[in-house]
Structure 1
Amino acid sequence: MLLVAVALIACSSAVTTFASEPASSNAATTLAIGEPLNDSLDAQGNSPTIVIPASPGDFIRGAVDGEQLVLSLVDSTGNHIRQLTAGHGSTQTFMFVVGSEGPYAFSISGPAKGEFSLTLRSSIPLAEQKAPQPELQSPRLRQLQQDLLKYPSTDRFWSEIRAAGAPLVESEAVMPPLPKSDVLVTFLWRGVQRNVRLFGAPSGDHDELHRLGDSDVWYRSYRVPRSARIDYRFAPDVPVFDGSPWERRRAILATAQRDPLNKLCFPADPVDIYDGSSVVELPDAPHPSWIEPNPETPRGAITRHRLTSETLGNTRDIHLYRPVGYRPGDPENGLLVVFDGDKYLQQIDAATILDNLIAAKAIRTTAAIFVSNPSPESRSVELPCNPDFANFIASELIPWAKGQEITASPANSVIAGASYGGLAAAFIGHAHPEIFGNAYCQSGSFWWSPGSRPTLPASEPEWLARQIADAPRQPTRFHLEAGEFEVDILNSTRHLRDVLTAKGYTLTHREYASSHGYFYWRYTFANGLIDLLGSSTVASTPDPVTQ
């Protein structure tokens, strides 16, 4: 085995053109990037010195061709630094970063008189080692990128955005081209913060915005259906600290705020810039036909009660809704039991939706029980498939409601909720079909299994789907819905749909161009009620995405 020493000189001079010299020559040769040195190991041990220009921090990649060749880095005194190839195969690649202890030398060992070819494929100086800019899908941002090469000011761009309102919505000249059903929505933030995150749809995953070069423009683009409604907030410079993954994820709430360039928000009268969410309504978003109050529509009565549970050992608010003209004991009456009741009343305005649906005879005359949570902590314990909570509903709440003259047959009774509440509705509807003939699940958390929580999934997810698959079929009808921007919930909802279908259940399933939250559920709530409690003469609002 012979050794060929190849010097790697740390310098900043230009690369010279390679001139091949035989191995027996003692003259130094400069190895140019991309030009191979073809030679052989000499039995007498004579070898050229191979020089390349390199500076500390340079990222170098190359290859050596030949049989059983071991290529190593050594320092100027011949001490081993790093082995780059191990002698396996006829072509071996290598890469390394030039350190500050140079100059280096290459050493090549292999069979006597063995031929080799050494190539430095690339050398990237430290100053040029930058991540590439993401591809600009937005034609307006591509134009801005070109404008900044001539005039490094974004004032005109921001004046344009302020006048038109954010975010930027485009359909023409998008790269790559869009299908006719989609538009490109680009969220924009102005500033020089360390980072900016998007809190909300379309991804729901706390995406970081990109910075356009060295400008004050931060952006993130999404291709979404023209039928979408989107609520979102920005979170600049989210705190970084030593905490659990869940605590660090929730830290986004410390800086999350509405878009100062978007006047449309939910709720419509926020307290300050940190309250509520900014809203995008795209051209084909379905018209909200049931959520607006109508002064000519009779309003039902809402009464607040406090109910203590012996089963659960706590006390909670219960709100009863009685529509105008409600007749206790009428066999045609409907009953709706809703979890997270205070949220449904305040953020969805469920009472107004019920008023409008009943007045239009879109659903039967229906009383509603809105069940609130004693605390956020109790919610995360009670709603996810808790038999004690199911027993509270069946053995305490429903008998109490009968004492308030609120009753209905199982076929006309619906248990409903969203997220964990949607999971609870499916669990209790399946467990107590003698009370609830219908379960309405808005974005149900069907990913759940015992011990899991958001961002901390269990080892075997979708516990409820497995229970339903293994149990006898119950006379429960399901209405499942999910948004295409809530991927995990969308997929687990589809899986539960397939399980229920295979078991022979009656169900309806809807998907919307939406995400996770009461802003979205308020627009779809009436559809589920019509499907479960409606007459055949009134159709729920179709959605352009998926039926």
Structure 2
Amino acid sequence: MESPTIKHGNAMTAVMHSNLLRITQSSVSEIGSALWWSEMEKQGLPLVNKNPSNKENLILTFLWRDPDGSESHSPIKQVYIDINCVTNHHTFSPPSLVRLPKTDVWYWQLEIEKSWRGSYRLIPATEKWIGSNWEKALHSNDDARKMQRHWWRNLIKDAIPDPLNRQAPSAGSWSKKFSAIHLPGLMEQSLWQEFDLKPEFSELENKSFSDVGEVYWQSSILGIRRRVWTYACGKASDPEQRPLVILLDGDRWAKEMPVFSVLREQTQSGHLPAALYLLVDSVNGKQREQDLTCSEDFWLAIQKELIPQIKEELPHTENPAHTIVAGQSYGGLAAMFAGLKWPARFGCVLSQSGSFWWPNNKLMRKGNNSDDKGWLTDQVLSETYQPGRLKIFQQVGTREYSLTRVNDQLNKALTNKSFDVKYQKFVGGHDTLCWREGLITGLSYLLQNFSYQD
């Protein structure tokens, strides 16, 4: 390929031009031209290339087109990139794309494992929101950590999905939209294809999901009213026998990443038995933290109030071997607690990225090397809970760092106490994009031996 003429004088600009042309495999000499951007749109972002120095990793190239043009016309001074469990959220200097001078092109690269999966978003920032300026303005008596968190939380309000990513954006934390990265060597998440292509599709409004219901649960024990989605999936020969699956953070699986079509497909194909699913709304952050941090009241309310209320209309099994509690993060902690505390009711646990540091948040701080453990792990080690017939499916991401460590601690404790636990790690972070496939894998594992007795 013939090298383009470099019109901008410094050596860094020349290198960036050359690098971009090589990576994008562009035949267009003018980087940033309409034709060049058209080529990038056809390829879809981020661009994925082999790493010649490390065959186990790939090079991802992120690009952003400044709608206001070059630096002489645009107010944008930085384009921060927030990649799940890659970007450090605790600094005033998170990674930012770099502008190619006198163009509308912003550019950044990342080296990552071939088997990684994750989500990301871009954050164009004006002079007001440049992190280094905030850091310079700190006084000696200021709380730097508090100020940084304030800056970051305000900064991400302007986060956007990548407009040139071919995957349709999906909702993530704080209801912001994220773009997805599925690398070429990964197993395809084909079950979620319908959602990925059109996430605005409302499953609850689709007539084919007539078995999805929405009820309200007024709990006298908890003193709160909340939504619960019910899904009687598949035809059960005996509804009194059908498995019961309780999904925590039900609003995520009913609205942000709707699971109904995937459950239906897996049931129709015979990978899952006909079952009753209860998706329990978390209400809000404060209520979620109260309910899902090993709260006996929450689980007593589930057993004494919610399940009897649902069973009046939707019969299901009382067999603990066919009753699953499933959750992620705080929900993973809560699901594990429920199974350990009440194995005679909740005989199967599906825990993903469980927050087993709780209540000692020091365990989550970067660089922590102490032997301290979370409360639930200590309970297992002290033999507060006995293995019995409890069956556990546990997952965590390799890029969840301290959270990976506390999951390792709990898994070791469970294994040493002879609990029946299957432990998996995925190459990714604290990410619904990773959890969604693991959720189906866990359900299939926990229900693999179930059969209706005619």
Note the alpha carbon deviations across 1:458-497, whole angstroms, 9 max, x for none. 9955332222222232332211112233323333222222
State yes or no: 1:496 paired with 2:389.
Answer: no
1:212 Cα deviation after fit: 6.4
In structure 2, C-alpha distance between the alignment counterparts of 1:536 and 1:327, rounded to whole Å: 13
In structure 1, C-alpha distance between the alignment counterparts of 2:219 and 2:308, rounded to whole Å: 12
In structure 1, C-alpha distance between the alignment counterparts of 2:32 and 2:228, rounded to whole Å: 54
The 5-angstrom pairing of residues 403-482 of structure 1 reads 403-404=312-313, 405-449=315-359, 462-470=374-382, 471-475=384-388, 476-482=390-396
In structure 1, C-alpha distance between the alignment counterparts of 2:217 and 2:367, rounded to whole Å: 33
User: What is the aligned counterpart of 1:310 among 213, 217, 220?
Assistant: 220
* Aligned residue in 2 for 1:253: 156
State yes or no: 1:276 paired with 2:177.
Answer: yes
Gaps of 5+ in 2: 1-11, 24-28, 135-141, 196-207
Which protein has the larger Cα radius of gyration, Structure 1 or Structure 2? 1
Maintained 8 Å contact 1:339/1:371: yes
Note the alpha carbon deviations across 1:395-438, whole angstroms, 9 max, x for none. 32233333332333101110001121111111111111111111
1:285 Cα deviation after fit: 2.1
Distance 1:276 1:153, change over 3 A: closer
Maintained 8 Å contact 1:312/1:392: yes
In structure 2, C-alpha distance between the alignment counterparts of 1:161 and 1:322, rounded to whole Å: 44
State yes or no: 1:343 paired with 2:252.
Answer: yes
User: What is the aligned counterpart of 2:439 among 513, 525, 536?
Assistant: 525
* Aligned residue in 1 for 2:235: 325
Gaps of 5+ in 1: 1-132, 145-150, 538-547
Distance 1:252 1:432, change over 3 A: farther
Maintained 8 Å contact 2:78/2:125: yes
1:213 Cα deviation after fit: 7.6
Maintained 8 Å contact 2:16/2:100: no
In structure 2, C-alpha distance between the alignment counterparts of 1:423 and 1:322, rounded to whole Å: 26
Maintained 8 Å contact 2:100/2:106: no
Note the alpha carbon deviations across 1:365-416, whole angstroms, 9 max, x for none. 2111111123232112211222222222233223333333233310111000
User: In terms of mean alpha carbon deviation, does 457-466 or 227-236 score higher?
Assistant: 457-466
Q: Which structure: greater helix fraction?
A: 2
* AA partner of residue 257 (structure 1): I
Query: What is the CA RMSD across the aligned residues, in angstroms?
Result: 3.7
Task: Provide the TM-score with structure 2 as the length reference.
Answer: 0.74
1:247 alignment partner, SS class:
helix
1:288 Cα deviation after fit: 2.4
Note the alpha carbon deviations across 1:118-149, whole angstroms, 9 max, x for none. xxxxxxxxxxxxxxx9xx999835969xxxxx
Note the alpha carbon deviations across 1:332-379, whole angstroms, 9 max, x for none. x21100111121122332222221222222123211111112323211
User: What is the aligned counterpart of 2:48 among 169, 188, 191?
Assistant: 169
Distance 1:290 1:209, change over 3 A: same
2:324 alignment partner, SS class:
strand
The 5-angstrom pairing of residues 137-216 of structure 1 reads 140-141=19-20, 155=33, 160-173=39-52, 177-179=53-55, 181-191=56-66, 192=71, 193-201=76-84, 203-206=86-89, 207-209=94-96, 211=98
Greater relative CO, 1 or 2 (CA 8 Å, sep 6+): 2
Distance 1:526 1:434, change over 3 A: same
The percentage of counterpart residues that share the same residue type is 25
Q: How many residues align?
A: 387
In structure 2, C-alpha distance between the alignment counterparts of 1:510 and 1:409, rounded to whole Å: 26
Maintained 8 Å contact 1:347/1:519: no
Distance 1:356 1:137, change over 3 A: farther
* AA partner of residue 54 (structure 2): L
* Aligned residue in 2 for 1:64: none
Task: Provide the TM-score with structure 1 as the length reference.
Answer: 0.62
In structure 1, C-alpha distance between the alignment counterparts of 2:385 and 2:261, rounded to whole Å: 38
Q: Which structure: greater strand fraction?
A: 1
* AA partner of residue 530 (structure 1): S
In structure 2, C-alpha distance between the alignment counterparts of 1:302 and 1:159, rounded to whole Å: 42
Note the alpha carbon deviations across 1:56-76, whole angstroms, 9 max, x for none. xxxxxxxxxxxxxxxxxxxxx
* Aligned residue in 2 for 1:485: 399
In structure 2, C-alpha distance between the alignment counterparts of 1:230 and 1:202, rounded to whole Å: 8
User: In terms of mean alpha carbon deviation, does 494-503 or 387-396 score higher?
Assistant: 387-396
In structure 1, C-alpha distance between the alignment counterparts of 2:41 and 2:396, rounded to whole Å: 33
In structure 1, C-alpha distance between the alignment counterparts of 2:18 and 2:32, rounded to whole Å: 16
* AA partner of residue 200 (structure 1): I
